[in-house]
Amino acid sequence: MKSISVKVGLIYIFFSVLNISFYTVSIYIEQIGLIIKNRELEALLQTEKVYLPLKYSLLSSPEINLHKITKTELINKINRVLAEIANQEYLIFTEKGELLYKSSEDLILDEKNRTDAISAISNSEFMNQPYLLQTDNTDEVELYIPVQTGER
């Protein structure tokens, strides 16, 4: 190890490995950020595909007065709209936790659903947000759309 060329070569290899490691970590961190942003945008796109048809054909339709409609009529109208949009699983329940409809027998109404539904109602009334979108660490998107009718 007395030769200077061996020392310079080892230092060069060390800095080359360090440089490659730095760029690899930087690219990895940037890719994670892009994946997270892509997932958020995909969830928002899926949400809008469900919310907008409901809004225009049911929630803000001039032909339908939600304060004079019964729960059964509302459920039927929601089912017709959602059947046209996508083949997705959903629950329809009241703010009191009464299950009105479930699209699949595998679905259950748990405490988390009730809590998120209450948050959606609060967001709708106090922050003027029409729905609550929940994305956990899975590919599932949970969308809560509060609908106020005259029947309680």
Question: From CA 146, how far away is CA 58, in angstroms rounded?
Answer: 12
Whether the CB-CB separation of 152 and 61 falls below 8 Å is answered with no
Which candidate, 95, 90, 86, 101, places its Cα nearest to that of 124?
95
Whether the CB-CB separation of 83 and 47 falls below 8 Å is answered with no
pTM of the full structure: 0.64
- Reading the chain (152 residues) residue by residue, the pLDDT tens digits are 578 989 999 999 999 999 999 999 999 999 999 998 898 888 888 888 888 888 887 766 666 676 677 778 888 888 888 877 766 788 888 777 778 888 888 888 888 888 888 888 888 888 888 888 877 766 777 888 887 765 54
Strand 91-93 relative to strand 141-144, pairing: unpaired
Nearest-10 crossing angle of helices 71-85, 4-54: 130
